[in-house]
């Protein structure tokens, strides 16, 4: 799948079982001025501040008010100024994740691919990062691909899903259409299905037709409305 074939201005989950070939698939998307890939290969400098500026310098970008943009990004990501002059190897995995995201956001590519990094964040910071991604999509027309083996923690934030199996794209499309229309196929292949979809399917078998829901909390409210 070429990057041009992916729906623009959306947040996409790229998922699959461990060993399904997600990382191999992502390796075809080469970092460039238009495509920012965020993973541990993104580490290019040993100093936090230099890492944050790395891609702007690498691509020789001339950004007006760069310092102002830099300060805005570290504020958005809650990167403490206390770590800016530290070594990359002295900071926590959570801080490193935010620094790597910041280094890509600073040079402002159209496509952002986050490759298996968010697992190192706690729930609070995950939610904060996804809210930032939603703003980037809504106000700056960014396309963001989040690669993970855990569909449950990203499901409520994504628009579309790409399911990888045996190194190839098995399914791609709107998240509800993919999981609702291919439920038995995914069960047969033992590919993880979001809990909210599984519960909705169980209610369907009991005769309750529930609208699509992004989260378990939404589903519980929908079930309550349906059965009361």
CATH, residue 86: 3.40.50.300
Q: How many domains does the chain have?
A: 2
pLDDT at 177 over 90: yes
pLDDT at 41 over 90: no
φ/ψ of residue 63, rounded to 5 = -105, 125
Structure tokens at 44: 């290019």
pLDDT for residue 2 = 63
Return the closest-CA partner of residue 180 out of 210, 138, 206, 208. 210
Instruction: Identify the band that residue 152 occupies on the pLDDT scale cut at 50, 70 and 90.
Output: very high
Which ranges constitute the DSSP H helices of the chain?
22-26, 48-58, 66-76, 93-107, 123-140, 175-181, 183-188, 195-205, 216-227
Mean predicted lDDT score pLDDT of the chain: 91
One domain, residues 187 and 198: no
One domain, residues 159 and 127: yes
* Long-range pairs for 185-193: beta carbons < 8 A, 24 or more residues apart: 189/165, 190/17, 191/16, 191/17, 191/163, 191/165, 192/15, 192/17, 192/149, 192/150, 192/151, 192/152, 193/151
Yes or no: say if 141 and 9 are a contact pair by the CB < 8 Å rule: yes
Q: Give per-residue pLDDT as tens, 8-38.
A: 999 999 999 988 999 888 888 889 999 999 9
* Residue 34 belongs to domain spanning: 3-192
pLDDT for residue 4 = 64
One domain, residues 106 and 40: yes
Yes or no: say if 11 and 133 are a contact pair by the CB < 8 Å rule: yes
One domain, residues 46 and 99: yes
One domain, residues 172 and 214: no
Mean pLDDT of 200-218: 91
One domain, residues 183 and 198: no
pLDDT for residue 88 = 95
- Identify the three-state secondary structure at position 61: coil
Q: What is the spatial distance between Cα 10 and Cα 12, in angstroms, rounded to a whole number?
A: 6
One domain, residues 185 and 199: no
pLDDT at 226 over 90: no
One domain, residues 175 and 215: no
Distances (CA, A) of 62 to 9, 67, 76: 24, 12, 22
One domain, residues 100 and 136: yes
Within 13 A of 46's CA, how many CA atoms are on the CB side? Answer: 1
One domain, residues 109 and 129: yes
One domain, residues 203 and 183: no
One domain, residues 160 and 215: no
Q: Give per-residue pLDDT as tens, 75-132.
A: 989 999 999 999 999 999 889 999 999 999 999 899 999 998 887 788 888 888 899 8
């Amino acid at each position: 799948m070429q990057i041009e074939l992916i729906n623009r201005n959306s947040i996409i989950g790229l998922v699959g079982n461990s060993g399904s070939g997600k990382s191999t698939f992502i390796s075809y998307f080469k970092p460039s001025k238009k495509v920012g890939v965020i993973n541990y290969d993104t580490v290019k400098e040993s100093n936090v501040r230099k890492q944050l500026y790395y891609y702007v310098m690498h691509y020789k970008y001339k950004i007006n008010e760069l310092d102002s943009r830099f300060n805005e990004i570290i504020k958005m990501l809650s990167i403490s100024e206390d770590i800016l002059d530290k070594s990359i190897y002295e900071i926590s995995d959570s801080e490193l994740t935010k620094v790597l995201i910041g280094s890509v956001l600073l040079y402002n590519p159209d496509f952002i691919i986050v490759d298996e990094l968010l697992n190192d964040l706690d729930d609070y910071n995950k939610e904060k990062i996804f809210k930032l991604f939603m703003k980037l999509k809504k106000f700056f027309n960014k396309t963001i691909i989040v690669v993970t083996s855990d569909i449950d923690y990203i499901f409520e934030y994504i628009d579309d899903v790409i399911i990888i199996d045996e190194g190839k794209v098995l399914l791609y499309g709107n998240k509800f259409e993919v999981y609702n229309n291919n439920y038995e196929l995914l069960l047969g292949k033992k590919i993880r299905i979001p809990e909210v979809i599984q519960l909705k399917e169980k209610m369907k078998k009991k005769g309750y037709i529930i609208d699509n829901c992004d989260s378990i909390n939404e589903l519980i409210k929908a079930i309550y409305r349906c059965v009361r």
